Amino acid sequence: MPPQQVLGSVGPQALAIERLWWLTLIICTVVFLAVLAAVAWALFRAPRGDLTTPPDLSSLTRPERGAAISVVAGIALCALLLVVLTIASFSTDRALASLGAPSLEIEVTGHQFWWEVRYEDADPSRSFSTANEIHIPVGRPVLLKLKAEDVIHSLWVPNLAGKKDLIPGRDATLALRADKPGTYRGQCAEYCGAQHAKMAFLLIADPPEQYEAWAAAERKPAREPGEAEQRRGRDLFVNGRCGMCHAVQGTSAAARYGPDLTHFASRQTLAAGMLPNTVGHLAGWILDPQSIKPGANMPANPMPPAELHALLAYLGTLK
């Protein structure tokens, strides 16, 4: 599994949050230890007595200058530390909002329980869709436009940025930049139903030329399958149940209810980051998704082995 680390920032947004986290931890730890030390000292210096010792009420009439100074100093120090944390929090917020003009906008829509990822272009023929995998170029600011189709979700790639909610009917944005190539795991961070925990995705940051090559491949429609079995699988896909929910560009399957599968075989995972994308897992997922993600919207698809083989052969061509 690729990393999903709050303290492993690879971009300026996550770094700003990570710094704030360390500052808060250090200040709170020092305050906590100081309070414990004060309690220990108070216990240690408390006068000892037994049931027959008369109470010492002298402090009620005798002014305690030392105690008064300690209390005032303690309050002043706490107020000062809170001001420091407030300023740090404000400046972190400013840092998060100062990434600069995005070089790329990606529309991410949360569904129960997967991520639709749409790369819009002014020229519609250059727009394309994928799912559960967000590719971005390294070193360039990217703006994610967040939408939700059904309920509230939350997008979180801790290595790159903080969380942002996806709220139906209310679009949000999240700016981020990856400074190091790599694959980072992201997770839905807002309870959205039975399979909330199994709503993950991969964010893949590639050097710009590698990203452009990926995008160029994604823009192409699916290749015409070469072998007879693959073509049979394509016909089963398009005319059977698969095409009622999924799209494969270049065929008549154009539904947008489930993930776009045009280049499905080039994706690393199945079922929103849950399984490696291998033939065995794919067969299990097609036949009985409910045993892997109970409550997901994909129904079971029982079919004879020959049909399953043809379908798997076809899906394997969708590179």
Provide the binding-site residues for ligand CUA, judged by CB under 6 A: 110, 113, 153, 188, 190-192, 196, 199
Query: How far is CA 128 from each of CA 214, 231, 256, rounded to the nearest angstrom?
Result: 12, 24, 12
Around Cβ 212, how many Cβ atoms within 10 Å? 12
CB of 197 to ligand CUA, least distance (A): 8
Around Cβ 5, how many Cβ atoms within 10 Å? 14
Nearer to ligand CUA, 146 or 310 (CB): 146
List the Cα angle 155/160/162 in 5-degree steps: 50
Starting at the earlier edge strand, list the strands of the sheet with 153-156: 133-137, 200-206, 182-188, 153-156, 164-166
CB of 298 to ligand CUA, least distance (A): 16
Nearer to ligand CUA, 198 or 232 (CB): 198
CB of 190 to ligand CUA, least distance (A): 5
Nearer to ligand CUA, 152 or 283 (CB): 152
CB of 202 to ligand CUA, least distance (A): 16
CB of 4 to ligand CUA, least distance (A): 15
CA distance 296 to 37: 53
Prior bond to 237 cis, omega within 30?
no
Nearer to ligand CUA, 41 or 191 (CB): 191
Which residues, in sequence order, are CB contacts of 44 under 8 Å at separation 6+?
none
Measured distance between the N- and C-terminal CA atoms of the chain, rounded to whole angstroms: 22
Nearer to ligand CUA, 191 or 257 (CB): 191
